[in-house]
Structure 1
Amino acid sequence: MWALPIVLFVLAGCAAQPVPRRQAAVVRPRVSAETLAKRLVAQQADWPRRRRYDCGRIKCVALTFDDGPGPYTGKLLDLLHKREVRATFFVLGQMVAADPGGRFTRRIVDEGHEIGNHSWSHPALTGLSPEGVRHELGQTEELVRRLTGVRMRMMRPPYGSTDDRVAAETRREGLAQILWDVDTLDWLHRRPEAVVRAAATAKAGSIVLMHDIHPTTVEAVPKVLDTLSRKGFTFVTVSELYGRTPAPGRTYTAR
């Protein structure tokens, strides 16, 4: 899957919630050669689009998770790994900074998920100056890139709040704007069954919004996967949904 022999030979020669205010120190734990090899692969321009799906012919759905990484992200990653499902995570810079050693942030990348920029502190970007928008996105980009080596190629504006000015800044930063067409409202209705019912309304090409900071959402994920699998859906990342990396500055809600 990783073409490890080649890469190892070379080695030998990405709703508002309260977030921490102080930036934690970034600790760089020692990692294995295999993990380093995966991160080299992750730096390729089409990462994580290593698989090929024709979502114009099959029923695809992209599960997306916002506002993490948080205390429950590890359990979610375990669930997705067990089911061999990839998702897209839109991370907050402050939460990445509070993630000890960047362990969950690194796992998102190392396990083949897509990572996107959700700003640093979850403000409504439409209320900021162009410089403020760049600061929110730039801080998060810098930290995630330092931890994982990955340059994020998409973002999700907090609250879905965007306009022409925000679009111009995201274009300048090389980021596509990813919204959604299925909102589970998991931040409001904190009951697993409510999350499952909302996710079940997905159609072919849907982008489903959830938040990995809520334990009830993570608890709902196995039933979400079961329900959508029975309906014939294939789970893909956002880039896989479109068959390419979304274009900078453009806004996407569903295929």
Structure 2
Amino acid sequence: MKFPIRTVLAGGCALSLLTAASAAWGAERSAPAGAAKPSATPTATAKPKPKPKPVDCAKVKCIALTFDDGPGKYADKLLDTLKKHGAKATFFLEGQYVKSRPAFAKRMVAEGHDIGNHSYTHPKFTEIPLENIREELKKTQDIVKKVTGKYPTMIRPPYGLLDDDTKTAATEMKMPIVLWNGGSRDWATKNEKAIYDEVLKNAKRDGVILMHDWVTQTVLVMPKLLTELKKRGYHVVAVSSLPGAKSLKPADVYPAGAAEDKDLSSDSPTGDADTPVEAPADGT
């Protein structure tokens, strides 16, 4: 009987496939015990990004942006901007707002920013007794530690007002007092261009700039401001990175001469009872 050529070829191919499969199966069975089997091509493991080196402000031009009265309602957006630009800041916190916005305070510490004590309810320290100053500072120390796991490391008295009692409390708590040597007047103007211009006017090497993270316009102008500061050669750092801040002792006032600089009073409306400088409860 004659078979069609296609049938013969098909049969031959099937036989070849069966022979090859049998040979492969036999080879696998006869492989020594424990022999490694071929594996898929290994996937390249992504290398972790190296941590950025600390900025040496003795060698490069630095500036410290500081934010009072927070955490404000928009502090999370400010933190997003700082993170995107690789900038560090210093936040002088009020205990009452740490209590109401604990997640923001926790994030500030987790992302490597400096934390300072700005009292619990923002009274003028020059108008209350030492006992009340102690209470204001201690309550804030305790709530910040409870929320973030760390204590504030410096004090900024409300409105920048201090006297001997303030220094006594700072000595007892073993913390320096940090003021500023340049302002933004963000609390007064609430205008992005005005804030931008004022900060750049006051910017200088190792400068400490006063701002507020509850002022919406401050948060909105921050990307533009950080970009311009970088163009001018500044590294935006926390206060603790500035050369003069590294050797501060309890009750030392920093920057040097800030307590005696009467021009700085215009940065905080200490004499205007109708102008709010404290973060409103809703952060607006």
> What secondary structure is seen at the aligned counterpart in 1 of 2:133?
helix
Match of 2:79 in 1: 77
Q: How many residue pairs are counted as aligned between the two chains?
A: 204
* 1:69 and 1:105 in contact (8 A); partners too: yes
Residue 211 of structure 2 corresponds to residue 235 of structure 1: no
Residue 192 of structure 1 and its aligned partner are, at CA, apart by: 0.8
Output the CA distance in 2 between the equivalents of 1:176 and 1:197: 30
Match of 2:143 in 1: 143
Counterparts of 1:152-163 in structure 2 under 5 Å?
A: 152-163=152-163
* 1:88 and 1:238 in contact (8 A); partners too: yes
* 1:51 and 1:240 in contact (8 A); partners too: no
* 1:195 and 1:217 in contact (8 A); partners too: yes
Match for 2:182: what amino acid? V
Match for 2:224: what amino acid? K
Match of 1:112 in 2: 112
Residue 139 of structure 1 and its aligned partner are, at CA, apart by: 0.2
Output the CA distance in 1 between the equivalents of 2:113 and 2:89: 5
Match for residue 56 of structure 1 among 52, 55, 58: 58
Output the CA distance in 2 between the equivalents of 1:69 and 1:120: 12
Residue 254 of structure 1 and its aligned partner are, at CA, apart by: 6.1
Output the CA distance in 2 between the equivalents of 1:173 and 1:116: 13
Residue 168 of structure 2 corresponds to residue 168 of structure 1: yes
Match of 1:132 in 2: 132
**Which structure would you say has the larger Rg?**
2
Output the CA distance in 1 between the equivalents of 2:123 and 2:53: 34
What is the RMSD of the two structures over their aligned residues, measured on CA atoms? 1.6
Output the CA distance in 2 between the equivalents of 1:52 and 1:107: 20
Output the CA distance in 2 between the equivalents of 1:252 and 1:228: 22
Match for 1:72: what amino acid? Y
Match of 2:207 in 1: 206
Match for 1:55: what amino acid? C
> What secondary structure is seen at the aligned counterpart in 2 of 1:112?
coil
> What secondary structure is seen at the aligned counterpart in 1 of 2:92?
strand
Output the CA distance in 1 between the equivalents of 2:53 and 2:168: 31
Match for 1:225: what amino acid? L
Output the CA distance in 1 between the equivalents of 2:189 and 2:249: 33
Match for 2:116: what amino acid? G
State the TM-score, normalized to the length of structure 2.
0.69
State the TM-score, normalized to the length of structure 1.
0.77
Counterparts of 1:171-250 in structure 2 under 5 Å?
A: 171-201=171-201, 202-242=203-243, 244=246, 246-250=248-252
Residue 245 of structure 1 and its aligned partner are, at CA, apart by: 6.0
Residue 107 of structure 1 and its aligned partner are, at CA, apart by: 0.3
Gaps of 5+ in 1: 1-49
> What secondary structure is seen at the aligned counterpart in 2 of 1:171?
helix
Q: Percent identity?
A: 40
Per mean C-alpha deviation after superposition, the further-off stretch among 167-176 and 179-188 is 167-176
Match for 1:56: what amino acid? A
> What secondary structure is seen at the aligned counterpart in 1 of 2:63?
strand
